[in-house]
Amino acid sequence: MTANTSYSPIHVVGGGLAGSEAAWQIAQAGVPVILHEMRGVRGTDAHKTDGLAELVCSNSFRSDDATSNAVGVLHAEMRLAGSLIMQAADRNQVPAGGALAVDRDGFSAAVSAAIDSHHLITVVREEITGLPPKDWDLAIIATGPLTAPALAEAIRAETGADALAFFDAIAPIVYTDTIDMDICWHQSRYDKVGPGGTGKDYINCPMTEEQYNAFVDALIAGDKTGFKEWEGTPYFDGCLPIEVMAERGRETLRHGPMKPMGLTNAHNPTVKPYAVVQLRQDNALGTLYNMVGFQTKLKYGAQAEVFRMIPGLEKAEFARLGGLHRNTYINSPTLLDSTLTLKSRPGLRFAGQITGCEGYVESASIGLLAGRFAAAERKGETPVPPPATTAFGALLNHITGGHIVSDDEPGKRSFQPMNVNFGLFPPLEPGALTKPDGAKRFRGKEKALAKKQATASRALSDCASWLAVPARKTA
Protein backbone atom coordinates (compact mmCIF):
# COMPACT_ATOMS: atom_id res chain seq x y z
CA MET A 1 0.00 0.00 0.00
CA THR A 2 1.25 3.52 -0.76
CA ALA A 3 2.40 5.40 2.32
CA ASN A 4 0.93 8.74 3.32
CA THR A 5 3.95 10.68 4.55
CA SER A 6 1.67 13.08 6.42
CA TYR A 7 0.91 10.38 8.99
CA SER A 8 2.76 10.68 12.28
CA PRO A 9 4.47 7.43 13.29
CA ILE A 10 2.97 4.90 15.64
CA HIS A 11 5.36 3.69 18.34
CA VAL A 12 5.63 0.00 19.21
CA VAL A 13 7.56 -0.97 22.34
CA GLY A 14 8.98 -4.50 22.17
CA GLY A 15 10.44 -6.47 19.27
CA GLY A 16 9.15 -9.93 20.11
CA LEU A 17 6.55 -11.79 18.09
CA ALA A 18 3.68 -9.46 18.99
CA GLY A 19 5.65 -6.25 18.55
CA SER A 20 7.18 -7.34 15.26
CA GLU A 21 3.78 -8.39 13.92
CA ALA A 22 2.16 -5.15 15.09
CA ALA A 23 4.88 -3.06 13.41
CA TRP A 24 4.49 -5.06 10.19
CA GLN A 25 0.72 -4.64 10.06
CA ILE A 26 0.99 -0.89 10.68
CA ALA A 27 3.61 -0.46 7.96
CA GLN A 28 1.66 -2.62 5.51
CA ALA A 29 -1.29 -0.28 6.09
CA GLY A 30 0.88 2.60 4.84
CA VAL A 31 1.60 4.18 8.22
CA PRO A 32 5.14 4.83 9.54
CA VAL A 33 6.13 2.97 12.69
CA ILE A 34 9.00 3.19 15.16
CA LEU A 35 9.82 -0.13 16.81
CA HIS A 36 11.65 0.20 20.15
CA GLU A 37 13.60 -2.89 21.28
CA MET A 38 15.87 -2.92 24.33
CA ARG A 39 17.86 -6.05 23.44
CA GLY A 40 21.13 -4.85 22.01
CA VAL A 41 21.27 -2.34 24.87
CA ARG A 42 19.95 -4.49 27.70
CA GLY A 43 19.39 -8.25 27.71
CA THR A 44 16.89 -10.48 29.53
CA ASP A 45 17.23 -13.60 31.64
CA ALA A 46 15.95 -15.83 28.83
CA HIS A 47 16.93 -14.31 25.47
CA LYS A 48 20.24 -15.33 23.92
CA THR A 49 20.40 -12.88 20.98
CA ASP A 50 19.23 -9.41 20.01
CA GLY A 51 17.26 -10.75 17.03
CA LEU A 52 13.63 -9.75 16.62
CA ALA A 53 11.00 -12.40 17.40
CA GLU A 54 13.52 -14.69 19.14
CA LEU A 55 11.88 -17.90 20.38
CA VAL A 56 13.02 -18.53 23.94
CA CYS A 57 10.94 -21.62 24.79
CA SER A 58 9.74 -24.26 22.36
CA ASN A 59 10.27 -23.99 18.60
CA SER A 60 6.74 -25.26 17.92
CA PHE A 61 3.75 -23.23 16.78
CA ARG A 62 1.67 -26.32 17.59
CA SER A 63 -0.97 -27.86 15.33
CA ASP A 64 -1.28 -26.59 11.77
CA ASP A 65 -4.60 -28.37 11.22
CA ALA A 66 -7.08 -25.65 10.21
CA THR A 67 -9.97 -28.10 9.85
CA SER A 68 -10.41 -29.25 13.44
CA ASN A 69 -7.84 -27.58 15.69
CA ALA A 70 -8.25 -24.09 17.15
CA VAL A 71 -4.60 -23.08 16.90
CA GLY A 72 -4.52 -24.36 13.31
CA VAL A 73 -7.51 -22.12 12.59
CA LEU A 74 -5.59 -19.19 14.09
CA HIS A 75 -2.63 -20.03 11.82
CA ALA A 76 -4.94 -19.90 8.81
CA GLU A 77 -6.55 -16.61 9.84
CA MET A 78 -3.14 -15.02 10.34
CA ARG A 79 -2.08 -16.14 6.88
CA LEU A 80 -5.25 -14.56 5.47
CA ALA A 81 -4.30 -11.33 7.23
CA GLY A 82 -0.78 -11.24 5.75
CA SER A 83 1.02 -12.15 8.97
CA LEU A 84 4.79 -11.67 8.90
CA ILE A 85 5.19 -14.20 11.72
CA MET A 86 3.41 -16.91 9.74
CA GLN A 87 5.34 -16.08 6.56
CA ALA A 88 8.63 -16.50 8.45
CA ALA A 89 7.40 -19.68 10.14
CA ASP A 90 6.29 -21.27 6.86
CA ARG A 91 9.63 -20.49 5.23
CA ASN A 92 11.65 -21.93 8.12
CA GLN A 93 9.64 -24.98 9.15
CA VAL A 94 11.22 -28.22 10.30
CA PRO A 95 9.46 -31.64 10.41
CA ALA A 96 7.19 -32.02 13.45
CA GLY A 97 4.36 -34.42 12.63
CA GLY A 98 1.07 -32.52 12.57
CA ALA A 99 2.63 -29.44 14.13
CA LEU A 100 4.29 -26.39 12.60
CA ALA A 101 7.77 -26.17 14.12
CA VAL A 102 10.54 -23.87 12.96
CA ASP A 103 14.27 -23.48 12.86
CA ARG A 104 14.42 -20.84 15.59
CA ASP A 105 17.49 -19.01 14.26
CA GLY A 106 16.25 -18.94 10.68
CA PHE A 107 12.83 -17.77 11.84
CA SER A 108 14.18 -14.86 13.88
CA ALA A 109 16.56 -13.89 11.08
CA ALA A 110 13.68 -13.82 8.57
CA VAL A 111 11.53 -11.59 10.78
CA SER A 112 14.48 -9.28 11.50
CA ALA A 113 15.35 -8.97 7.81
CA ALA A 114 11.77 -8.15 6.82
CA ILE A 115 11.42 -5.51 9.54
CA ASP A 116 14.82 -3.95 8.85
CA SER A 117 14.17 -3.69 5.11
CA HIS A 118 10.67 -2.18 5.31
CA HIS A 119 10.84 1.49 4.30
CA LEU A 120 8.17 2.51 6.81
CA ILE A 121 9.71 0.81 9.86
CA THR A 122 12.48 2.32 11.96
CA VAL A 123 14.04 0.11 14.63
CA VAL A 124 15.45 1.95 17.64
CA ARG A 125 17.54 -0.02 20.13
CA GLU A 126 16.76 1.49 23.53
CA GLU A 127 15.09 0.63 26.81
CA ILE A 128 11.78 2.36 27.45
CA THR A 129 11.65 2.76 31.23
CA GLY A 130 8.22 4.35 31.59
CA LEU A 131 4.90 4.62 29.82
CA PRO A 132 5.12 6.20 26.36
CA PRO A 133 5.21 10.03 26.55
CA LYS A 134 2.02 11.87 25.72
CA ASP A 135 3.42 13.11 22.41
CA TRP A 136 3.39 9.46 21.29
CA ASP A 137 -0.33 9.84 20.76
CA LEU A 138 -0.63 6.28 19.39
CA ALA A 139 1.54 3.56 20.89
CA ILE A 140 1.52 -0.19 21.56
CA ILE A 141 3.25 -1.89 24.47
CA ALA A 142 4.22 -5.41 23.41
CA THR A 143 7.04 -6.14 25.83
CA GLY A 144 5.89 -9.68 26.48
CA PRO A 145 6.57 -11.96 29.41
CA LEU A 146 9.97 -10.42 30.13
CA THR A 147 8.99 -6.77 30.55
CA ALA A 148 11.86 -4.85 32.17
CA PRO A 149 11.27 -3.95 35.85
CA ALA A 150 11.11 -0.17 35.33
CA LEU A 151 8.45 -0.40 32.63
CA ALA A 152 6.54 -3.05 34.58
CA GLU A 153 6.46 -0.72 37.57
CA ALA A 154 5.19 2.14 35.38
CA ILE A 155 2.42 -0.12 34.08
CA ARG A 156 1.57 -1.17 37.61
CA ALA A 157 1.37 2.48 38.72
CA GLU A 158 -0.92 3.40 35.80
CA THR A 159 -3.25 0.42 36.12
CA GLY A 160 -3.27 -0.07 39.86
CA ALA A 161 -2.64 -3.76 39.26
CA ASP A 162 -1.90 -5.80 42.37
CA ALA A 163 -0.03 -8.50 40.45
CA LEU A 164 1.66 -8.59 37.07
CA ALA A 165 3.76 -11.73 37.10
CA PHE A 166 3.82 -15.52 37.04
CA PHE A 167 6.55 -18.09 36.40
CA ASP A 168 7.28 -19.65 33.02
CA ALA A 169 9.79 -22.43 32.41
CA ILE A 170 11.76 -23.52 29.32
CA ALA A 171 12.77 -26.99 28.15
CA PRO A 172 16.29 -28.33 27.50
CA ILE A 173 17.72 -28.91 24.01
CA VAL A 174 19.85 -32.00 23.25
CA TYR A 175 22.53 -32.53 20.60
CA THR A 176 21.08 -35.15 18.24
CA ASP A 177 24.27 -37.15 17.84
CA THR A 178 24.40 -37.82 21.60
CA ILE A 179 21.05 -39.66 21.57
CA ASP A 180 21.32 -43.47 21.55
CA MET A 181 19.25 -44.58 18.56
CA ASP A 182 19.78 -48.24 19.44
CA ILE A 183 17.28 -47.54 22.21
CA CYS A 184 15.24 -44.68 20.74
CA TRP A 185 13.33 -44.55 17.45
CA HIS A 186 11.80 -42.02 15.07
CA GLN A 187 7.99 -41.84 14.99
CA SER A 188 5.23 -39.25 15.16
CA ARG A 189 2.33 -40.14 17.40
CA TYR A 190 -0.10 -42.33 15.40
CA ASP A 191 2.37 -41.90 12.47
CA LYS A 192 0.74 -38.56 11.71
CA VAL A 193 2.25 -36.74 8.73
CA GLY A 194 2.17 -32.97 9.14
CA PRO A 195 3.47 -30.01 7.11
CA GLY A 196 6.94 -30.92 5.87
CA GLY A 197 6.82 -34.10 7.96
CA THR A 198 7.17 -37.81 7.29
CA GLY A 199 5.31 -39.43 10.18
CA LYS A 200 8.67 -40.04 11.85
CA ASP A 201 9.35 -36.55 13.12
CA TYR A 202 9.98 -37.21 16.82
CA ILE A 203 12.65 -39.19 18.62
CA ASN A 204 11.03 -41.44 21.22
CA CYS A 205 12.65 -42.75 24.40
CA PRO A 206 10.78 -45.71 25.99
CA MET A 207 10.48 -46.41 29.70
CA THR A 208 9.45 -49.46 31.66
CA GLU A 209 7.26 -49.05 34.75
CA GLU A 210 10.30 -49.42 37.00
CA GLN A 211 12.27 -46.81 35.04
CA TYR A 212 9.30 -44.45 35.05
CA ASN A 213 8.80 -44.66 38.81
CA ALA A 214 12.51 -44.08 39.47
CA PHE A 215 12.45 -41.09 37.12
CA VAL A 216 9.41 -39.55 38.85
CA ASP A 217 11.10 -39.99 42.25
CA ALA A 218 14.24 -38.27 40.95
CA LEU A 219 12.27 -35.37 39.49
CA ILE A 220 10.51 -34.73 42.77
CA ALA A 221 13.73 -35.03 44.80
CA GLY A 222 15.90 -32.96 42.42
CA ASP A 223 17.43 -29.66 43.52
CA LYS A 224 15.25 -26.82 42.25
CA THR A 225 15.53 -23.09 41.65
CA GLY A 226 14.45 -21.02 44.64
CA PHE A 227 11.55 -18.60 44.71
CA LYS A 228 12.61 -15.86 47.16
CA GLU A 229 12.73 -13.07 44.58
CA TRP A 230 9.26 -13.70 43.13
CA GLU A 231 7.55 -15.64 45.94
CA GLY A 232 3.82 -16.05 45.59
CA THR A 233 3.78 -15.87 41.78
CA PRO A 234 1.60 -18.63 40.28
CA TYR A 235 2.40 -20.95 37.39
CA PHE A 236 0.48 -20.98 34.13
CA ASP A 237 -1.05 -24.47 33.90
CA GLY A 238 -0.20 -24.74 30.19
CA CYS A 239 3.53 -24.47 30.89
CA LEU A 240 4.04 -26.29 34.18
CA PRO A 241 7.57 -27.45 35.02
CA ILE A 242 7.91 -31.19 34.57
CA GLU A 243 8.73 -31.72 38.24
CA VAL A 244 5.64 -29.76 39.35
CA MET A 245 3.51 -32.05 37.19
CA ALA A 246 5.21 -35.06 38.82
CA GLU A 247 4.36 -33.69 42.27
CA ARG A 248 0.67 -33.58 41.33
CA GLY A 249 0.42 -37.36 41.10
CA ARG A 250 2.54 -40.34 40.10
CA GLU A 251 0.57 -40.98 36.91
CA THR A 252 0.28 -37.33 35.82
CA LEU A 253 3.27 -37.43 33.45
CA ARG A 254 2.21 -40.77 31.95
CA HIS A 255 -1.09 -39.18 30.95
CA GLY A 256 0.56 -35.91 29.87
CA PRO A 257 3.85 -35.28 28.04
CA MET A 258 5.07 -38.85 28.62
CA LYS A 259 1.97 -40.70 27.42
CA PRO A 260 2.83 -43.82 25.36
CA MET A 261 -0.32 -43.80 23.20
CA GLY A 262 0.07 -43.92 19.43
CA LEU A 263 3.69 -45.09 19.57
CA THR A 264 5.28 -48.48 18.83
CA ASN A 265 8.88 -49.22 19.79
CA ALA A 266 10.66 -50.00 16.53
CA HIS A 267 13.26 -52.06 18.42
CA ASN A 268 10.68 -54.13 20.31
CA PRO A 269 7.26 -53.81 18.62
CA THR A 270 5.50 -56.40 20.77
CA VAL A 271 6.22 -54.68 24.09
CA LYS A 272 4.26 -51.51 24.82
CA PRO A 273 6.34 -48.85 26.63
CA TYR A 274 4.96 -47.83 30.01
CA ALA A 275 5.89 -44.22 29.26
CA VAL A 276 7.66 -42.36 26.45
CA VAL A 277 9.74 -39.18 26.39
CA GLN A 278 9.52 -37.40 23.04
CA LEU A 279 12.08 -35.06 21.50
CA ARG A 280 11.20 -32.75 18.62
CA GLN A 281 13.55 -31.40 15.95
CA ASP A 282 14.64 -27.89 16.91
CA ASN A 283 16.63 -26.65 13.90
CA ALA A 284 16.64 -27.13 10.13
CA LEU A 285 19.89 -29.10 10.19
CA GLY A 286 18.38 -31.65 12.57
CA THR A 287 21.39 -31.35 14.88
CA LEU A 288 19.28 -30.26 17.86
CA TYR A 289 16.19 -31.77 19.46
CA ASN A 290 14.16 -30.30 22.32
CA MET A 291 12.52 -32.33 25.06
CA VAL A 292 8.77 -31.98 24.51
CA GLY A 293 6.88 -30.83 27.60
CA PHE A 294 10.06 -30.84 29.71
CA GLN A 295 10.11 -27.23 30.80
CA THR A 296 11.80 -27.24 34.18
CA LYS A 297 13.02 -25.30 37.19
CA LEU A 298 15.54 -27.96 38.22
CA LYS A 299 19.02 -26.56 38.78
CA TYR A 300 21.48 -27.27 35.96
CA GLY A 301 23.39 -30.02 37.79
CA ALA A 302 20.17 -31.81 38.70
CA GLN A 303 18.85 -31.55 35.15
CA ALA A 304 21.85 -33.29 33.62
CA GLU A 305 21.73 -36.03 36.26
CA VAL A 306 17.97 -36.65 36.17
CA PHE A 307 17.44 -36.39 32.41
CA ARG A 308 20.29 -38.84 31.73
CA MET A 309 18.17 -41.42 33.55
CA ILE A 310 15.94 -41.45 30.44
CA PRO A 311 16.71 -44.52 28.26
CA GLY A 312 18.64 -43.33 25.21
CA LEU A 313 19.79 -40.11 26.88
CA GLU A 314 22.36 -41.66 29.22
CA LYS A 315 25.15 -39.88 27.34
CA ALA A 316 23.13 -36.88 26.17
CA GLU A 317 24.87 -33.54 25.82
CA PHE A 318 22.76 -30.43 26.18
CA ALA A 319 22.98 -27.43 23.88
CA ARG A 320 20.76 -25.60 26.38
CA LEU A 321 19.49 -26.64 29.76
CA GLY A 322 16.06 -25.65 30.97
CA GLY A 323 15.38 -22.52 32.94
CA LEU A 324 12.84 -20.45 34.78
CA HIS A 325 11.84 -16.90 33.99
CA ARG A 326 9.26 -14.43 35.15
CA ASN A 327 6.27 -13.81 32.96
CA THR A 328 4.33 -10.55 33.08
CA TYR A 329 0.71 -9.85 32.18
CA ILE A 330 -1.99 -7.32 33.03
CA ASN A 331 -5.60 -7.86 34.12
CA SER A 332 -6.84 -7.21 30.60
CA PRO A 333 -10.61 -7.81 31.06
CA THR A 334 -10.67 -4.94 33.54
CA LEU A 335 -8.13 -2.64 31.91
CA LEU A 336 -8.56 -2.91 28.12
CA ASP A 337 -11.41 -2.12 25.74
CA SER A 338 -12.43 -4.22 22.75
CA THR A 339 -9.65 -2.75 20.59
CA LEU A 340 -6.92 -3.44 23.19
CA THR A 341 -6.77 0.23 24.28
CA LEU A 342 -6.02 1.00 27.92
CA LYS A 343 -9.26 2.46 29.25
CA SER A 344 -7.42 4.97 31.41
CA ARG A 345 -5.32 6.27 28.53
CA PRO A 346 -6.75 6.53 24.99
CA GLY A 347 -4.21 5.87 22.26
CA LEU A 348 -2.17 3.39 24.31
CA ARG A 349 -2.69 -0.26 23.40
CA PHE A 350 -1.25 -3.49 24.75
CA ALA A 351 -0.45 -6.57 22.68
CA GLY A 352 0.97 -10.06 23.02
CA GLN A 353 1.56 -12.13 26.13
CA ILE A 354 1.40 -9.11 28.41
CA THR A 355 -2.35 -9.06 27.70
CA GLY A 356 -2.81 -12.56 29.11
CA CYS A 357 -2.76 -14.71 26.01
CA GLU A 358 -0.37 -17.66 26.02
CA GLY A 359 1.62 -19.11 23.15
CA TYR A 360 3.65 -17.84 20.23
CA VAL A 361 0.82 -17.74 17.73
CA GLU A 362 -1.67 -16.22 20.17
CA SER A 363 0.84 -13.52 21.11
CA ALA A 364 1.55 -12.68 17.48
CA SER A 365 -2.16 -12.64 16.61
CA ILE A 366 -2.92 -10.08 19.30
CA GLY A 367 -0.01 -8.02 17.98
CA LEU A 368 -1.55 -8.31 14.52
CA LEU A 369 -4.89 -7.02 15.80
CA ALA A 370 -3.34 -4.19 17.84
CA GLY A 371 -1.35 -3.08 14.80
CA ARG A 372 -4.42 -3.07 12.58
CA PHE A 373 -6.49 -1.20 15.16
CA ALA A 374 -3.77 1.44 15.67
CA ALA A 375 -3.22 1.92 11.93
CA ALA A 376 -6.96 2.35 11.38
CA GLU A 377 -7.12 4.95 14.12
CA ARG A 378 -4.17 6.84 12.66
CA LYS A 379 -5.90 6.92 9.26
CA GLY A 380 -9.09 8.34 10.75
CA GLU A 381 -10.96 5.06 10.46
CA THR A 382 -13.02 3.20 13.04
CA PRO A 383 -11.22 0.08 14.26
CA VAL A 384 -13.54 -2.89 13.82
CA PRO A 385 -12.86 -5.94 16.02
CA PRO A 386 -13.09 -9.35 14.29
CA PRO A 387 -16.27 -11.41 14.72
CA ALA A 388 -16.43 -13.50 17.89
CA THR A 389 -16.87 -16.55 15.64
CA THR A 390 -13.28 -16.23 14.37
CA ALA A 391 -10.19 -17.42 16.22
CA PHE A 392 -9.06 -13.78 16.31
CA GLY A 393 -12.32 -12.70 17.87
CA ALA A 394 -12.60 -15.60 20.29
CA LEU A 395 -9.15 -14.91 21.73
CA LEU A 396 -9.69 -11.14 21.77
CA ASN A 397 -13.00 -11.52 23.57
CA HIS A 398 -11.45 -13.72 26.23
CA ILE A 399 -8.73 -11.15 26.84
CA THR A 400 -10.93 -8.07 26.86
CA GLY A 401 -14.15 -9.28 28.41
CA GLY A 402 -14.80 -13.01 28.27
CA HIS A 403 -13.43 -13.79 31.70
CA ILE A 404 -15.91 -14.32 34.53
CA VAL A 405 -14.91 -13.16 38.01
CA SER A 406 -16.29 -15.28 40.83
CA ASP A 407 -18.98 -13.60 42.91
CA ASP A 408 -17.77 -15.62 45.88
CA GLU A 409 -14.42 -13.84 45.95
CA PRO A 410 -14.98 -10.20 44.90
CA GLY A 411 -11.82 -8.39 43.97
CA LYS A 412 -9.74 -11.57 43.73
CA ARG A 413 -7.39 -11.68 40.75
CA SER A 414 -8.42 -14.80 38.82
CA PHE A 415 -7.71 -13.93 35.16
CA GLN A 416 -5.07 -16.33 33.83
CA PRO A 417 -3.23 -16.66 30.50
CA MET A 418 -5.08 -18.70 27.89
CA ASN A 419 -4.21 -20.53 24.69
CA VAL A 420 -6.75 -20.34 21.88
CA ASN A 421 -9.21 -23.23 22.06
CA PHE A 422 -12.66 -24.09 20.77
CA GLY A 423 -14.11 -23.43 24.22
CA LEU A 424 -13.61 -19.70 23.53
CA PHE A 425 -15.73 -19.78 20.35
CA PRO A 426 -19.50 -19.08 20.43
CA PRO A 427 -21.71 -22.17 20.06
CA LEU A 428 -22.78 -23.18 16.57
CA GLU A 429 -26.16 -22.00 15.38
CA PRO A 430 -29.08 -24.44 15.74
CA GLY A 431 -29.14 -26.85 12.83
CA ALA A 432 -25.49 -26.22 11.92
CA LEU A 433 -24.69 -29.88 12.56
CA THR A 434 -26.47 -32.54 10.56
CA LYS A 435 -25.96 -36.28 10.57
CA PRO A 436 -23.84 -37.38 7.60
CA ASP A 437 -25.65 -39.27 4.86
CA GLY A 438 -25.68 -43.00 5.54
CA ALA A 439 -24.54 -42.65 9.17
CA LYS A 440 -26.51 -44.83 11.57
CA ARG A 441 -25.59 -42.73 14.55
CA PHE A 442 -24.09 -39.32 15.18
CA ARG A 443 -22.63 -38.89 18.62
CA GLY A 444 -19.48 -39.22 20.65
CA LYS A 445 -16.18 -38.70 18.84
CA GLU A 446 -17.81 -38.40 15.42
CA LYS A 447 -20.09 -35.60 16.58
CA ALA A 448 -17.30 -33.84 18.48
CA LEU A 449 -15.09 -33.86 15.38
CA ALA A 450 -17.94 -32.60 13.19
CA LYS A 451 -18.55 -29.79 15.66
CA LYS A 452 -14.89 -28.74 15.54
CA GLN A 453 -14.87 -28.88 11.75
CA ALA A 454 -18.03 -26.75 11.50
CA THR A 455 -16.63 -24.24 14.00
CA ALA A 456 -13.38 -24.04 12.05
CA SER A 457 -15.16 -23.62 8.72
CA ARG A 458 -17.36 -20.85 10.12
CA ALA A 459 -14.33 -19.10 11.60
CA LEU A 460 -12.37 -19.00 8.36
CA SER A 461 -15.38 -17.86 6.35
CA ASP A 462 -16.18 -15.08 8.82
CA CYS A 463 -12.52 -14.03 9.02
CA ALA A 464 -12.30 -13.70 5.23
CA SER A 465 -15.47 -11.59 5.24
CA TRP A 466 -14.12 -9.38 8.06
CA LEU A 467 -10.84 -8.77 6.24
CA ALA A 468 -12.72 -7.84 3.04
CA VAL A 469 -14.92 -5.16 4.66
CA PRO A 470 -13.92 -1.64 3.53
CA ALA A 471 -12.64 0.65 6.29
CA ARG A 472 -15.09 3.19 7.70
CA LYS A 473 -13.96 6.75 8.31
CA THR A 474 -14.51 8.01 11.83
CA ALA A 475 -17.49 10.36 11.94
Alpha carbons 120 and 24: distance in angstroms, whole number = 9
Q: Which residues are annotated as a binding site for FAD?
A: 14-19
How far is residue 27 from each of residues 33, 279, 354, measured CA to CA in Å? 6, 38, 22
Alpha carbons 126 and 124: distance in angstroms, whole number = 6
Residue type (1 letter), 2: T
Query: Can you state the percent helix, strand and coil of the chain, rounding each to 5?
Result: 35, 15, 50
Looking at the chain, how many residues does it have?
Answer: 475
Instruction: Please name which of 417, 395, 362 lies closest in space to residue 168, comparing C-alpha atoms.
Output: 417
Instruction: Please name which of 415, 343, 400, 327 lies closest in space to residue 366, comparing C-alpha atoms.
Output: 400
Q: Which residues are annotated as a binding site?
A: 14-19
Task: Return all residues near 170 (Cβ < 8 A) that are at least 6 apart.
Answer: 46, 56, 57, 295, 296, 322, 323, 324, 325
Alpha carbons 320 and 257: distance in angstroms, whole number = 20
Task: Return all residues near 335 (Cβ < 8 A) that are at least 6 apart.
Answer: 159, 161, 342, 343, 344, 350
Q: Beta partners for 276?
A: 206
Alpha carbons 69 and 399: distance in angstroms, whole number = 20
Instruction: Return the DSSP state at 237.
Output: G
205 contacts 184 by C-beta, under 8 angstroms: yes
Residue type (1 letter), 315: K
The b/e string for 80-110 (b: 16+ C-beta within 10 A; e otherwise) is: bbebbbbbbbbebbbbbbbbbbbbbbbbbbb
